[in-house]
Amino acid sequence: MALPRLWTPILMASAFGTFAILSPALCLAQNSEIEQLRSVVEGLQQQLQKTLQRIDQLEKEKTATSEKINQMEEEKTTTASRIGQVEKSVQAVQSAPSALNPAIGMVLDANVSQRSKAGGNFDFRSAEIGLAASVDPFARMYGFINGTSDGVEVDEAAAVTTSLPWNLTAKGGRFLADFGRFPKVHEHELPFVNQPLSIERMVGGETQADGAEVNYLFPTPFFLRATVGGYNKIGEENDQVDNNKSRSWSRFTYLGRLNTYFDLSDNHSIELGTSMAYTPSIRLAGNADGGDRILNGIDLTYRFQPLASTVYQGLTIGSEFFHNSQVFASDSSAKRQQAYGGYSYAELKLNKNWSTGFQVDYAPIVDTPAQRTMSYSPFITWNLSEFNRLRLQYSYLNNNFRGADKEENGNQVFLQWTTLIGAHTHGFLGR
Amino acid sequence: MKSLTKINKCQLLILVTALAWISSRSAFGQPIRVVATFPDLADITRQIGKNLVSVESLATGVEDPHGVPMKPSFVPRLNRANLLIVTGLDDEHSWLPALLEVASNPKILAGQPGYIDCSVGVPVLEAPTRIDRAEGDLHPKGNPHYLLDPLYGKIAAQNIATGLTRNFPQYEADFDKNLKAYLAELDSWIGRWEKVAAPLRGVKYVEYHPEWVYFANRFRLQRVGSIEIKPGIEPTPNHLVQLVQQIKQENAQVLIYGSQNPRIPQQLQGETGIKVLRLYTSAGARSETDTYIKWIDYTVHSLVQAVS
């Protein structure tokens, strides 16, 4: 059926109109679909990105975990080797005869000397065996048994309290009495070869004493320590008093000492001590009435110890002065003699192994103080290790009187070799 | 004469008052008095004790740990201390026992509750299997420089907290809280150090004295040799010639020394071109290493910088 000719334009116009009216709506519908599609795609993209990130993360975690496993395995191996080491060490310790044995050490002090007046000598000075351990919770004990070319003797054997109240410490037995600085130091511990002659003549050698001592540490912010003691006598070679006889209270020797120390700065310090040993009555041959003996001492030590290089550098300057006041019998009468003496030394640390120094000593004879010996001794020390030391010393001894001991006169050269095995310490006082 | 007596009485009164004041001083001290042998232990103790403790260190950190001078001025500090904190493993053997002998303080003697040994529980390295001085200046209980491993710093912190609580149980909660906070802080630092120290893995090093084994184990460095022939024994010329060859052959990157003399490290640097670093084995040696954490941090960064 053909449409009438009139309707054709109408229909066309209507179709056009309808299209014109509907086309924006159609466009809108298409746009929203695209938007939807776009948002879907974007969502998918985001999901994809998240998934990729997750994959990355998982991969990283996997790597980290495998690294951790490797690390743990390495640690396991290391720990096993450590356990092995510890076990071996424990076995080594357990193989010691007994863990309760005291610490044992031995020091050999061998010397070769050449004296212009007396000649040469291989001088076996000492082989000292040291023992130390706790006795119980209240005390410790130490001993030094010394063998010399003259024989073997107990040099020291003393018990020391460890837990007394009120800052007190008590010591009893045979020990080096707390007089001065070097008089109470074993000869092999000195910075030079021989004990200064002033100590030998005025104190009587090392301050070996049978007796008892009490120390008191003052509760001050700085170091201040006092010692009081009572002894048969002080001085290993002091033959004015018989060590083995019983005696009245007036014939014991009583000691008092004060010791203090100050840090001038981190690297510089000064230490000062004053001591007095008093014997109310001494009975000497030819002077039955005796009289008292007063031995005074002052010691002063300056130390430069640069903290950053204590092992390599250092300077110590030390001096001690002694005064002995005592009645001695002369030809017709007894007379109180005042003797003054002492020594000074300086020691410079050159590096870890080497040090050098100089000592001057003024030693009067206590019963005839006008007679004296002056000595001058440069020395050089080579510490091969902490336990092995060589020392070369030259000494010139000058006496102002005739008939001096040949061993204490003229030019002298010493080579000292000191070696140590096992445990060894002379503690705080021997520093 | 009368005035003289009066002066004497005044002097006596002043003396007695002064002594009484000095004696009673300790009774007024509020915080727990702690003495630590080294600054790193002092710092860790401060972190755990906070304001309950007053801590001082005997050594300053620059000293050779085995050569700390036996100063009598340490004695009054030890005498007044409630607690003593030590590295242990005989690190302080050359100077501390003799000071304790005269300090008249039984509370802080070894074995007493006031003696806190931080090495308890540390897996010790280099414990000698043969105790003989032919092997040098040995530490019979093993290498004492364990604080260079921050994980063992945690063990030290735990030991300090345990020691503080053992002696002052009334503050247990405080010590516990502070310990946990400090351990957490240390853990976060350890995490950072492990990342920062990644370039140190496999780095070959030479040391002056055997001090760095714990650090090397933690951060995976490899030890090539040491300047000392044996612990504490200075080198012979022959040993140095061998060491130079070893440094060149093995391509060692860094030489570490601390309190030792710089002469030999510098000589080796001249001969081989190896980088030389002065790193101390305790906190406190430098102003920027005044705490344990800062010290380890400085050490790690210095080494990383040296090898990168």
The DSSP annotation for A32-60 comes to HHHHHHHHHHHHHHHHHHHHHHHHHHHHH
Min Cα distance A369 → chain B (Å) is 36
Tell me whether residues B60 and A266 touch, CB distance under 8 A.
yes
Whether residues B236 and B169 share a domain: the answer is: no
- Phi, psi of B228, rounded to the nearest 5 degrees: -70, 145
Tell me whether residues A217 and B75 touch, CB distance under 8 A.
yes
Q: Which of A194-208, B24-38, B86-100, B222-236 is predicted least confidently? A: B24-38
**pLDDT of res. A56:** 81
Min Cα distance B87 → chain A (Å) is 18
Tell which B residues from 81 to 120 touch A, by Cβ distance under 8 Å. 97-99, 101-104, 106, 109
For testing the chain A interface, which of B71, B190, B218, B280 should be mutated: the one with the most A CBs within 10 Å?
B71
pLDDT at B153 over 60: yes
End-to-end CA distance of chain A: 137
For testing the chain B interface, which of A258, A428, A429 should be mutated: the one with the most B CBs within 10 Å?
A428
Establish if B14 belongs to a structural domain.
no
**pLDDT of res. B294:** 96
Min Cα distance B12 → chain A (Å) is 18
pLDDT at B69 over 50: yes
Q: Which residues of B40-59 are buried (b: 16+ CB within 10 A; e: fewer)?
A: bbbbbbbbbbbebbbbebbb
Whether residues B159 and B202 share a domain: the answer is: no
pLDDT at B13 over 90: no
For every residue of A93-119, DSSP letters joined together read HHTSS-TTSPEEEEEEEEEEEEETTTE
**pLDDT of res. B2:** 45
Whether residues B48 and B132 share a domain: the answer is: yes
Highest mean pLDDT among A153-162, B88-97, B232-241: A153-162
Establish if B205 belongs to a structural domain.
yes
Helix axes B292-307, B150-167, angle to 10 degrees: 170
Whether residues B54 and B147 share a domain: the answer is: yes
Min Cα distance A368 → chain B (Å) is 38
pLDDT at B7 over 50: no
Q: Cα separation of B208 and A170, whole Å?
A: 44
**pLDDT of res. A77:** 53
Q: In what order do the strands lie in the sheet with B53-57?
A: B53-57, B32-36, B83-86, B115-117
Min Cα distance A94 → chain B (Å) is 11
**pLDDT of res. A28:** 53
Tell me if chain A has a CB within 8 Å of the CB of B201: no
Chain B positions in Cβ-Cβ contact with residue A78 (cut-off 8 Å): 217
Tell me if chain A has a CB within 8 Å of the CB of B202: no
Tell me if chain A has a CB within 8 Å of the CB of B237: no
Task: Report the alpha-carbon angle B89-B93-B97, nearest 5.
Answer: 120
Establish if B4 belongs to a structural domain.
no
Whether residues B76 and B96 share a domain: the answer is: yes
Query: Mean pLDDT, chain B, as a whole number?
Result: 89
Tell which A residues from 233 to 262 touch B, by Cβ distance under 8 Å. 259, 261-262
**pLDDT of res. A331:** 65
CB-closest option in B26, B102, B125 to A219: B26
CA distances from A385 to A3, A199, B95, B188, B236 (A): 130, 29, 17, 44, 13
Establish if B71 belongs to a structural domain.
yes
Whether residues B218 and B247 share a domain: the answer is: yes
Tell me if chain A has a CB within 8 Å of the CB of B151: no
Beta bridge partners of A301: A271, A318
Establish if B38 belongs to a structural domain.
yes
Tell me if chain B has a CB within 8 Å of the CB of A51: no
- DSSP strand E in A330-402: where? 334-349, 354-365, 368-385, 388-399
| Residue corresponding to tokens 């192994």 | A353
Asked if residues A127 and A147 have their Cβ atoms less than 8 Å apart, the reply is yes
Domain that holds residue B135: 26-193
Tell me if chain A has a CB within 8 Å of the CB of B79: yes
CB-closest option in B71, B141, B232 to A269: B71
Chain A positions in Cβ-Cβ contact with residue B279 (cut-off 8 Å): none
Instruction: Please report, for the domain that includes residue B151, its CATH number.
Output: 3.40.50.1980
- Rounded percentage of chain B residues whose pLDDT exceeds 90: 78
**pLDDT of res. A308:** 87
Asked if residues A360 and A375 have their Cβ atoms less than 8 Å apart, the reply is yes
Chain B positions in Cβ-Cβ contact with residue A431 (cut-off 8 Å): 70, 98
The predicted model gives B180-209 an average pLDDT of 95
Min Cα distance A310 → chain B (Å) is 6
A177: left (phi over 0), alpha (psi -120 to 50) or beta: beta
Between A60 and B226, the more confident residue is B226
Tell me whether residues B234 and A162 touch, CB distance under 8 A.
no
Out of B193, B228, B260, a domain closes at B193
**pLDDT of res. B56:** 95
Tell which B residues from 8 to 37 touch A, by Cβ distance under 8 Å. 22-23, 25-26
Tell me whether residues A425 and B98 touch, CB distance under 8 A.
yes
**pTM exceeding the 0.90 threshold for the entire prediction:** no
Tell me whether residues B128 and A92 touch, CB distance under 8 A.
yes
Tell me if chain A has a CB within 8 Å of the CB of B73: yes
Chain B positions in Cβ-Cβ contact with residue A88 (cut-off 8 Å): 127, 129
Chain B positions in Cβ-Cβ contact with residue A217 (cut-off 8 Å): 75-76, 79, 102-104
Whether residues B185 and B205 share a domain: the answer is: no
Closest-CA residue of A relative to B93 is A425
Establish if B8 belongs to a structural domain.
no
Whether residues B143 and B282 share a domain: the answer is: no
Per-residue confidence at B270, pLDDT binned at 50, 70, 90?
A: very high
Min Cα distance A430 → chain B (Å) is 10
Closest-CA residue of B relative to A220 is B22
Chain A positions in Cβ-Cβ contact with residue B80 (cut-off 8 Å): 219
Chain B positions in Cβ-Cβ contact with residue A133 (cut-off 8 Å): none
Chain B positions in Cβ-Cβ contact with residue A309 (cut-off 8 Å): 259, 261
Q: Cα separation of B301 and B82, whole Å?
A: 37
Chain B positions in Cβ-Cβ contact with residue A221 (cut-off 8 Å): 76
The predicted model gives B187-202 an average pLDDT of 94
Min Cα distance A307 → chain B (Å) is 5
pLDDT at B134 over 80: no
Q: Cα separation of A153 and B154, whole Å?
A: 52
- What ipTM does the predicted assembly reach? 0.83
The predicted model gives B190-200 an average pLDDT of 94
Q: Cα separation of B273 and A295, whole Å?
A: 63
How would you write the pLDDT of chain A (431 residues) with one tens digit per residue? Answer: 444 555 555 666 555 555 555 555 554 556 677 788 888 888 888 888 888 888 788 777 776 766 666 666 666 555 555 555 555 555 455 445 556 788 899 999 999 999 998 899 999 999 999 999 999 989 999 999 999 988 999 999 999 999 999 999 999 999 999 999 999 999 999 999 999 999 999 999 999 999 999 999 999 999 999 999 999 999 988 888 888 888 888 889 999 999 999 999 999 999 999 999 999 988 776 666 678 999 999 999 999 999 988 889 999 999 999 999 998 876 667 788 999 999 999 999 999 899 999 999 999 999 899 999 999 999 999 999 889 999 999 999 999 988 888 888 899 999 999 999 988 765 676 66
**pLDDT of res. A224:** 97
**pLDDT of res. B3:** 47
Whether residues B232 and B180 share a domain: the answer is: no
Chain A positions in Cβ-Cβ contact with residue B124 (cut-off 8 Å): 82, 85-86, 89
Closest-CA residue of B relative to A140 is B101
Beta bridge partners of A221: none
Between A5 and B79, the more confident residue is B79
Q: How many CA atoms lie within 13 A of B293 on its CB side?
A: 17
**pLDDT of res. B140:** 81
Min Cα distance A116 → chain B (Å) is 37
Out of B178, B193, B208, a domain closes at B193
| Inter-chain Cβ pairs, chain A and chain B, closer than 8 A | 126
Q: What is the pLDDT of residues B29-50, one digit of tens each?
A: 479 999 999 999 999 999 999 9
Closest-CA residue of B relative to A89 is B129
CB-closest option in B98, B125, B234 to A85: B125
Whether residues B94 and B78 share a domain: the answer is: yes
Whether residues B131 and B33 share a domain: the answer is: yes
| Residue corresponding to tokens 């860094």 | B254
Closest-CA residue of A relative to B100 is A428
**pLDDT of res. A291:** 85
Asked if residues B162 and B176 have their Cβ atoms less than 8 Å apart, the reply is no
Tally the domains of chain B.
2
Per-residue confidence at B27, pLDDT binned at 50, 70, 90?
A: very low
Establish if B120 belongs to a structural domain.
yes
Tell me whether residues B68 and A310 touch, CB distance under 8 A.
yes
Whether residues B234 and B120 share a domain: the answer is: no
Out of B158, B193, B228, a domain closes at B193
Establish if B230 belongs to a structural domain.
yes
Q: What is the pLDDT of residues B275-306, one digit of tens each?
A: 999 999 999 999 999 999 999 999 999 999 99
Closest CA to B232 of B58, B39, B60, B64: B64
